[in-house]
Amino acid sequence: MDVHFSMSSFLSIVLQALLSSSRGSLEPYDLLYNNAVDAFYRSDYKDVVRYMEGALSSYAEVRQTKVRCRLRCQDQHPFDSVTMDLQFFDVVLRRSNCQNECVEEKVGTQSMHKVSEDVNQDFQRRIPYNYLQLAYQKLKQLDKAAAAAHTYFQANPEHVEMDQNLEQYKALEGTDQDHFVDREARPHQMSFSAGVKLYDSADYKGAIAQFEEALQEYYKADVECRALCQGPQRFEEQDHVLYRYSLYELVSDHFTQALHCEHECVRDLSTRPGRLSPMENYLPLHYDYLQFAYFQMNMVEEAMECAQSYLLFHEGDEFMTENVEYYREAVGHDVKPREKAEWYLRRHKQELELLVIGTFTVCLFMWLRALFLHSPRIPSGTDGWMEYVPISEKKNFTLAPPQELREGGPLVYDSVRLVQNSKALNGTQRVLLDDVISVDECAELTNLAHTVTMAGDGYRGKMSPHTPNERFEGATVLKTLQYGYEGRVPLKSARLFYDASERARRIIESYFLLNSTLHFSYTHLVCRTAIAGQQDHRNDLSHPIHADNCLLDPEANECWKEPPAYTYRDYSALLYLNGDFEGGEFIFTEMDAKTVTAQVKPKCGRMVGFSSGGENPHGVRAVTRGQRCAVALWFTLDPLFRELERLQADEVMQALDNQSSQSQWDTSLNINPKDEL
């Protein structure tokens, strides 16, 4: 009997067994999500639906359970009566214990529901609905396919294929407008949009009902958002392995992070799905619409109440002040703003003041600690040691001048040819080069890729991190060197990957005339393969339009340099290994993510390089036949963000150079491939 039993299947069984013995019976949504994706690539669409719908349900239940438990425990263990430190810590511990017991009673052991940030981002970006709409389409359940497609498109309006799928669904028999629902619609935004439509059609009575409901839902969503901020916090810029914090420092850092999270709820609640920038003046607009709608319904006291509420947010607004005076004359007495608006604004101002104080305190502490305790990561060009210079000796400290944008420097290697510069590519800080590596080197690296690359490697195990219509495989420099040591690939080929990436780095650094060292931020040997049977009428991109160090916001024509973007990246390059495939062209666009300014057809030895910011939005057209392989490279000018795997690879290469044969390899070297992209 032929039995296929993978490690993932084994882990799935173990996890499900553990779950069945816990108090709760909720399956982890990351496990269900992974099972659904596996089923998709087996073309088992019934299982895709079963697991993916289960994952969405589990995700929602975990979120709501956390909200309910944290709010309940917050009420049971308030800070109001706390006057001493020990009382404060007592409340913190009791509240934490209460929350843990409450959550575990509902969903089971919490450790089973600790999910990676990448999976959470997939759910926030509504990626599961992309799989669902394809699965429902295959199962001929067009009403559910339409709903899934519509839900996905609301958060991904730039997705060309989904837009066209929606048009096709609308034209099919068996679907009607009622099927195109947003399954993840936020009630406060839904009511607000409905209110605006009724207001614009002069249905003021209906608009009032919708805006009042929107306000109730907004304040409810605000409470839930703040409750979700009360859990464990991430300390991205602090190394808890190297530093020993005192209890007070940790508590201060935690609550500053939680406070910042709560303050961001204002932005979150006013931001529509798929948008990076919030709707301007969102909450006050409710009161603005309401004051005029009530006036139109001859409900002047209510109109004045809403106008006064608006002025809480925009004190002294000339137009609204005139309205208040008019309403006061009409009713003959004064009317106060709504208590809810006063309470909300008062709390918001207090948070802002505390956040400023807390951030200053933490930043001052971090600066002093970094000054006296911190050993920085080793920058390129040192021998592994860095001299400590006391602050008293840094008398002439000045900020480094900003990097001047230049290009046209030497190409370093005689064989390399300049094909197009920034002007020819209709942009800034762009270059297209040929013959960076030879045909034989392309063939050797392609063969290496076929042996070393694994599905999703480098993108946290995702088989197709950008589109389900292609198989994505990758490998890092360190991994290839490990394979070379183990004899699974020729060591010569592994060294070629290392050397080719260094060649690319030197060319980019020289051509753009950089006045400081360019360091590797991430290096990836990657292949994209078109999946047979999924290419008909395909209009999506292999890699959607994006920028490499900021969050592209086409609607606002901005690129926000903030996490989760890799803000430390400065330059990027793609070194192509082949051209025998269909599609897969590299494209530059305007900030609108639609207007193509330049297109590059990959071929062996061709390299495109560019600065990583919002001036260079780019993407990859769909690979519709064959396999596209390349070496993807990202660079930084900041040595603190140098690629850790590259440092390890440097050590491996040095060890190889210092040893006369592979048999003398130092097996104690820390070769531990780590995904950092």
Residues 314 and 427 in one domain: no
Using pLDDT thresholds of 50, 70 and 90, give the confidence band for residue 669: very low
Domain count, the chain: 3
Percent of the chain residues topping a pLDDT of 90? 46
Average pLDDT of span 294-298: 94
pLDDT in tens, 76-100: 988 777 777 778 888 888 888 998 8
Check whether 368 has a pLDDT greater than 70: no
Residues 450 and 501 in one domain: yes
Check whether 357 has a pLDDT greater than 90: no
Distance CA 473, CA 462 (A): 9
Average pLDDT of span 144-166: 84
What CATH number is associated with residue 606? 2.60.120.620
Q: For residue 484, what are the domain limits?
A: 417-659
CA distances from 492 to 258, 438, 444, 480, 502 (A): 51, 15, 9, 10, 15
Supply 280's token pair.
Answer: 């301007």
The most confident of 242-251, 326-335, 664-673, by mean pLDDT: 326-335
Using pLDDT thresholds of 50, 70 and 90, give the confidence band for residue 392: very low
For strands 623-625 and 541-546, give the pairing.
unpaired
Which residues lie across from 619 on neighbouring strands? 587
Which residues lie across from 336 on neighbouring strands? none
Supply 292's token pair.
Answer: 């005029």
Distance CA 181, CA 102 (A): 33
How high is the pLDDT of residue 114?
77
pLDDT in tens, 500-548: 999 999 999 999 999 889 999 999 999 999 888 777 767 778 888 999 9
Residues 345 and 224 in one domain: yes
Lowest mean pLDDT segment, chosen from 22-36, 173-187, 485-499: 22-36
Distance CA 375, CA 631 (A): 33
Asked if 467 and 622 touch (Cβ cutoff 8 Å), the reply is yes
Q: Which of 491, 509, 408 is nearest to 451 (CA)?
A: 491
Residues 225 and 359 in one domain: yes
Q: Quick one: CA dihedral 188, 191, 195, 196, positive or negative?
A: positive
Residues 281 and 348 in one domain: yes
Residues 83 and 215 in one domain: no
Residues 138 and 226 in one domain: no
Distance CA 135, CA 138 (A): 5
Place of tokens 């001052």: 364
Residues 149 and 277 in one domain: no
3-state secondary structure 339-353: HHHHHHHHHHHHHHH
Average pLDDT of span 300-305: 95
Report yes or no on 300 lying in a domain.
yes
Lowest mean pLDDT segment, chosen from 62-76, 82-96, 290-304: 82-96
Residue 162: which residues within 8 A CB-CB, separation 6 or more? 130, 133, 149, 152, 153, 156, 540
pLDDT in tens, 241-293: 444 566 777 777 777 788 888 888 888 899 888 777 788 889 999 999 999 99
Using pLDDT thresholds of 50, 70 and 90, give the confidence band for residue 352: low
Say if residue 472 is exposed, middle or buried (CB neighbours under 10 Å; 0-12, 13-18, 19+). buried
Check whether 554 has a pLDDT greater than 90: no
Q: Which of 88, 160, 107 is nearest to 130 (CA)?
A: 160
The model carries a pTM of 0.62
Report yes or no on 65 lying in a domain.
yes
Report yes or no on 133 lying in a domain.
yes
Check whether 396 has a pLDDT greater than 50: no
Residue 311: which H helix or E strand, with range?
helix 300-313
Using pLDDT thresholds of 50, 70 and 90, give the confidence band for residue 670: very low
Lowest mean pLDDT segment, chosen from 22-26, 101-105, 670-674: 670-674
Residue 576: which residues within 8 A CB-CB, separation 6 or more? 602, 603, 604, 605, 606, 607, 628, 629, 630
Report yes or no on 403 lying in a domain.
no
Lowest mean pLDDT segment, chosen from 290-294, 489-493, 633-637: 489-493
DSSP string, 165-214: HHHHHHHSTT--GGG---TT--HHHHHHHHHHHHHHTT-HHHHHHHHHHH
pLDDT in tens, 434-480: 999 999 999 999 999 988 876 445 444 444 556 777 888 888 898 89
pLDDT in tens, 560-617: 887 778 899 999 999 999 999 999 999 999 998 889 999 999 999 999 999 999 999 9
Check whether 395 has a pLDDT greater than 50: no
How high is the pLDDT of residue 465?
57
How high is the pLDDT of residue 175?
77
Report yes or no on 525 lying in a domain.
yes
Residue 544: which H helix or E strand, with range?
strand 541-546
Report yes or no on 188 lying in a domain.
no
Check whether 394 has a pLDDT greater than 90: no
Place of tokens 């210079």: 389
Active site residues: 628
Residues 98 and 210 in one domain: no
DSSP string, 90-147: HHHHHHHHHHHHHHHHHHS-GGGG---HHHHHHHHTTHHHHHHHHHHHHTT-HHHHHH
CA distances from 328 to 41, 299, 322, 338, 365 (A): 67, 13, 10, 16, 52
Report yes or no on 391 lying in a domain.
no
164-171: long-range contacts, CB 8 A cutoff, minimum separation 24: 164/537, 164/539, 165/133, 169/142, 169/145, 170/146
Distance CA 218, CA 198 (A): 19
How high is the pLDDT of residue 245?
62
Supply 656's token pair.
Answer: 């190889």
Tell me the residue type at 635.
Answer: F
Check whether 34 has a pLDDT greater than 50: yes
Report yes or no on 8 lying in a domain.
no
Average pLDDT of span 22-30: 73
Residues 137 and 214 in one domain: no
Distance CA 543, CA 536 (A): 18
Residue 277: which residues within 8 A CB-CB, separation 6 or more? 271, 553, 555, 556, 558, 560
How high is the pLDDT of residue 488?
86
Residues 351 and 499 in one domain: no
Residues 652 and 537 in one domain: yes
Runs of H (alpha helix) within 415-476: 439-452
Q: Which residue, of 351, 373, 395, is where some domain finishes? A: 373
- Looking at every residue in the chain, the average pLDDT score rounds to 81
